[in-house]
Amino acid sequence: MSDDILKPDFSTRRRLLQAAGGAAALAAVPRLGLAQSGELTVTNWGGDWNDRTMRIVETPLVESRGIKIVRALNLEPERKSKLLAERNLPRGTIDIAHFSGADAFELNEQGIWETLDLAKIPNHANVRAALRTPYFVPWVFGGVTIAYNPKFIKDPPTSLAELWNPRYAGKLGVLDQSFFNWIYMAALVGGGRMNNIDPAWAKLAEMKQVMKPRVYPTHQQLAAGFKNEEVWISANYSARIAQWAKDGVSVASSYPKEGAITIIFGAAMPKKARNKDAAYHYLNSLLDPKALGAYAAASMYAPSTTNAEMSAELRASIDFTAEQARTFNNVDYAYQAKNIAGWLERWNKEFKG
């Protein structure tokens, strides 16, 4: 897939920093120090996401080195609040924080993250160029596609507009946890763009009136809706849909002609981290070829690197074709960060209310 398909809308200065950082990583002599030790506080999502992180990366590659990991598991708002509250302290309580690329960008604008020394993350040399930033280690990525139950919908939906098809009224599942993706999809169907979601509100009002959607707080509850057949159609990250299908749920993924909305997950180091040596070791471990291949297989997200150890069959099933990648809808992080609080308020009042 082309390296420029996932590029966020950064300024020229940021692009230069990315290029400089990537060159430094490639020129550096990869050499991991042996002094990493002590206690490392990692904040992350809980549930199966954390379970896989522990099993595939943290226990075998970090804790085995004598680094004691203290886990602070919560959702993004709690993580953000904690980091922002500690930014003026001499030392913070968090050494590594897992976020999406959009949340990481927002916090970088607030001056939270350390600018990474890529010589201390030798595995970063294999990260796809389009995913690189000076402050964030991308781990896996994916895209929002249409989820449908093939038992009730025989022909795979080819357009996001099918989420407004009256034929599925009362059988549409909406995920509140990623409300922003539903706003983006409504904008695209309504003639908007990723940096102009104004048409979304009329389309969401139409969806609420015509489709009588069932709103689910979490991924797990939406999966349960598919399992008990109260949901026939929805949209979610293709990796989540693949996981549900692997778990026996009657659900399939269809790539929409409007293109998928991209999502990137990874981790960053706060400037006020207490154990930066261990934090660098942790970030490098995330990109270990064998571990990242195993994580991609377990999560069904595409790996951020070009050398993750996985079968060609698996890579073909979880990555995207070049044709699909050309239609990706990349998030304008600056636009989203500026407006998302207002979006959430309107979503809760107008769509959920």
Q: What is the mean pLDDT of residues 327-333?
A: 93
| Residue 339 reports pLDDT greater than 80 | yes
| Residue 342 reports pLDDT greater than 90 | yes
- Block residue for tokens 């781990």: 139
Q: What pTM was estimated for this model as a whole? A: 0.79
Domains of the chain are 12-141+264-325 (3.40.190.10), 143-261+332-352 (3.40.190.10)
Q: What is the DSSP letter of 6?
A: T
Tokens of 108: 């970088």
Mean of the per-residue pLDDT values for the chain? Answer: 90
CA-to-CA distance for 237 and 234, rounded, in angstroms? Answer: 10
b/e burial code for range 48-67 (CB count within 10 A of at least 16 → b): eebebbbebbbebbbeeeeb
3-state secondary structure (DSSP) of residue 235:
strand
| Residue 64 reports pLDDT greater than 90 | yes
What integer pLDDT is reported at residue 321 of this predicted model?
86
What integer pLDDT is reported at residue 130 of this predicted model?
86
| Residue 5 reports pLDDT greater than 70 | no
pLDDT tens string 90-115: 999 999 999 999 999 999 999 999 99
Instruction: Report CA-CA distances (Å) from 330 to 90, 113, 206, 273, 341.
Output: 36, 22, 25, 30, 20
What integer pLDDT is reported at residue 166 of this predicted model?
98
What integer pLDDT is reported at residue 6 of this predicted model?
53
pLDDT tens string 255-275: 999 999 999 999 999 999 999
CA-to-CA distance for 57 and 50, rounded, in angstroms? Answer: 10
What integer pLDDT is reported at residue 20 of this predicted model?
40
- N- to C-terminal Cα distance for the chain? 41
% of the chain residues with pLDDT over 70: 90
3-state secondary structure (DSSP) of residue 305:
strand
Specify the amino acid at residue 17.
Answer: L
pLDDT tens string 113-172: 999 999 999 999 999 988 999 999 999 999 999 999 999 999 999 999 999 999 999 999
Is residue 121 a contact partner of residue 68, using CB atoms and an 8 Å limit? Answer: no
